[in-house]
Amino acid sequence: MGFADKVVFVTGAGQGMGRAILQHFGSSGARVVAADINADAAAAAIAGFGANGLALACNVADPASVKSAFEAVAERFGRVDVVINSAGIGSVDAFLDTPDDNWMRVLGVNLTGTFLCCREGARLMQKCGAKGAIINVSSTAAMSGEGPSHYCASKAGVMGLTRSIARELAASGIRVNTIVPGPTNTPMMAGIPDEWMQSMIKAIPLGRMCEPEEIARVAAFLASDDAGFITGQNIAVNGGMAFI
């Protein structure tokens, strides 16, 4: 799948899933924008892409930061064709002991951040006339309920957001879909207690965690013309541990 004429904006691009996605598109010829709250990590993610790469420090939970990021994309490349919302955080909190700040922080990044980037990305797509693709990243936890309440709620919200805006943006030729990964070998997973992680792996029929590159390949498919009639869908990439 060639993306030589496309501009691809990826949040959470400094590590894990986001970095794998960005590098997959960059290796396919796209002009790639690495948006991450860690400016150094964003810069490292685009190393080797030269003029086809742009690194931006962006706090996706902050409307002003997101707006500024897309303004920088418009100034540098004049357009955006693909927006991938991969930024996400979690916190190991029991429901009854969840601090208010943790609830707001997780919802702020995972759900509000996705909303803000969808909105600004769609605005730029419409402005430049791009029949683009927006790809959000949810989690199998949104369906299973296995995980902290704020994380499950935020990822379920992402799926609902996708369905709503897919309907609204279809008239503009903008497709919106969600990738729903199962446990994936990322830095976020490294913070989960080993007993919990092993329990999750046992629940996966394929018997292993997903690798970030496998998510990247699904993202590339959803962004490509091969997926031109797919919108508003949740695509599970979880080794069979749950069915949507």
What is the chain's pLDDT, residue by residue, as a tens digit (244 residues)? 679 989 999 999 999 999 999 999 999 999 999 999 999 999 999 999 999 999 999 999 999 999 999 999 999 999 999 999 999 998 889 999 999 999 999 999 999 999 999 999 999 999 999 999 999 999 999 998 988 999 999 999 999 999 999 999 999 999 999 999 988 888 777 767 777 778 888 889 998 889 999 999 999 999 999 999 999 999 999 999 888 7
CATH number for the segment(s) 7-235? 3.40.50.720
Q: What is the pTM of this model?
A: 0.94
Report H helices in the chain. 16-27, 39-45, 63-77, 100-107, 113-128, 141-144, 149-169, 187-190, 194-202, 212-223
DSSP letter for 52, please.
G
Q: How far is 196 from 190, CA to CA, in rounded Å?
A: 11
Could you tell me the CA-to-CA distances from 28 to 31, 69, 217 in Å, in that order? Answer: 9, 23, 11
Helix (H) or strand (E) holding 57: strand 53-57
Q: What is the pLDDT of residue 221?
A: 98
Which residues, 6+ apart, have CB-to-CB distance to 184 below 8 Å?
A: 16, 17, 209, 210, 211, 212, 215
Residue with tokens 């796209």: 30
DSSP code for 171: G
- Do β-strands 175-181 and 53-57 pair in parallel, antiparallel, or remain unpaired? unpaired
CA–CA gap between residue 19 and residue 87 (Å, rounded): 10
Q: Which of 132, 139, 151, 235 is catalytic?
A: 151
Q: Which of 184, 190, 51, 70 is nearest to 127 (CA)?
A: 70
Task: Tell me, yes or no, if 151 is annotated catalytic.
Answer: yes
Domain ranges of the chain: 7-235
